[in-house]
Amino acid sequence: MRSLHCFIFQRYTHSVCFWLKMKLKAGVVLHYLFLDNAYCLMSIKNAKILVEYFKMLDVHNKSSLNDIQFYHFLHYTTDLSDKEIMLIFDMLDWNASGEIGFEEFYMLVCILLANQNNVEKQFISRHSRPVFELIDMDGGHTISPAEFQASGFLFNLKGHALNQIFYDFDVSGDENLSYKEFKMFAMACIDKQEQTKREKKKKKEKSTLRSLGACLVKSANP
């Protein structure tokens, strides 16, 4: 299993798709909320702030948001298109009630913050089960290519290589991702995140050494 995971991770690394960064708009309250680095969850303090924010949006006092309230929230806070906003609403409204509660709202905000803080792949890894259930829009306990393509923008995955990533992890070859197969994708995501961190750290160290060397040369030749 480990060798299979390594092979798939290598394929994933070489087929990284075009990244489309989903951004929070300047000045919105979400910029003042943060995720825990280890588990990609909010602190109790931040969660309480979000509860109060949710209550402000819930103008009908129903402990839920309808599609219009939801649309205006994301239209005001993000650069998502109208189509993407309504797709997210349908994904979160899994029982087709026409409303979402605080639990779904909390998950959405965590995803937005993960994107903002460039830890979306770590979020997928830490919360693979709820992410899987979110992407599995028809409730069939598998993810189809269409579902994978449609929801990729949520985690800054978009482009022609997204199909290739899907089929790389479709080990069974049935053109659907089971939870086990999606979990392998999540593991590859965190491996990729750690690799990126190491590369950034190495690049920073090299830059520091170059700057130090330049200073030494300058001081030796006044």
| pLDDT of res. 11 | 39
Please report the pLDDT score of residue 195 as a whole number: 60
Dist. CA 155–CA 162, nearest whole Å: 12
**How many angstroms separate the CA atoms of 138 and 210, rounded?**
54
pLDDT given for residue 217 in this prediction: 63
* Mean pLDDT, contiguous 10-residue spans, the chain (222 residues): 40 35 86 88 93 96 96 95 92 91 94 86 85 89 89 69 78 92 79 61 73 65 62
Q: Looking at residue 32, what is its pLDDT?
A: 94
Residues 137 and 96: beta-carbon distance below 8 Å: no
3-state secondary structure 24-38: ECCCCHHHHCCECCC
CA dihedral 121, 122, 126, 129 (to 10 degrees): -10
The amino acid at 188:
A
pTM exceeds 0.75 for this model: no
The predicted pLDDT at position 2 comes to 40
